[in-house]
Amino acid sequence: MAAPERWFHPRKHTGWKKEQSAETRRKHLWAYTDKRYTLHKRYVQAARKILALANVTQDPETRKKARADADYFLARARSTKD
């Protein structure tokens, strides 16, 4: 049987993997945010990147970890309002 086709194609591959620790996953996401943005916008951008994955994946473990990372970045964004 052939491998299933991947239909979620993010604009950039961040290196995020569900097997990594939360700290490592978040560091990878943060590294791929636009450095020209304010701190608040960078947190929101990181949250949106991983939220896109959480919304389309069918793997429960990936969905749980991606949602946790998105919630982390959204909480940080709330604490650093512009």
Which of 48, 49, 50 minimizes the C-alpha distance to 65?
A: 50
Look up residue 4 and give its two tokens. 């299933």
CB atoms within 10 A of CB 80: 13
Amino acid occupying residue 73:
F
CB of 10 closer than 8 Å to CB of 28: no
Quote the pLDDT of residue 38. 94
Query: What local confidence, expressed as pLDDT, does residue 14 receive?
Result: 80
pTM value is: 0.83
Residue 1: the pLDDT is 58
Domain boundaries, the chain: 22-79
Ranges in the chain, pLDDT < 50: none
